[in-house]
Amino acid sequence: MKEKLKASVNAIAAKDVEAFHKTLGPGIGTEHDYLLNNVVNFTTVDKAHEENGRILVAVNGENLRQDGGSPVMGYTFYFEQEESADGRL
């Protein structure tokens, strides 16, 4: 989970669409590509916690855009346990 989170954050920071897509689950498509439009300096990773069977991790940072928006920006990453080929989690 830690490596997948790191890869996602690095892809967003680098605005690398291909790398970002590799970090998403199958079938996600391009619906989250808008995240790459933001200019953000990631600063903190909150403690992971479980909610509704998923692990959530908030990553916060500074909005570097000069458009008058909020100076704080955050993303919440969701991790779901993958099912094995025999149907077990």
- pLDDT tens digits, 13-57: 899 999 988 888 777 878 888 888 888 889 999 999 999 989 999
Where residue 82 falls among pLDDT bands split at 50, 70, 90? low
Alpha-carbon distance of 64 to 51, in angstroms, equals: 30
By the 8 A CB rule, do 42 and 13 touch?
yes
Q: What is the pTM of this model?
A: 0.73
Tokens of 45: 């990773």
* Helix intervals (H) in the chain: 2-14, 17-23
Alpha-carbon distance of 56 to 48, in angstroms, equals: 6
Burial class (CB in 10 A: 0-12, 13-18, 19+), 72: exposed
Q: Residue range 57-67: average pLDDT?
A: 85
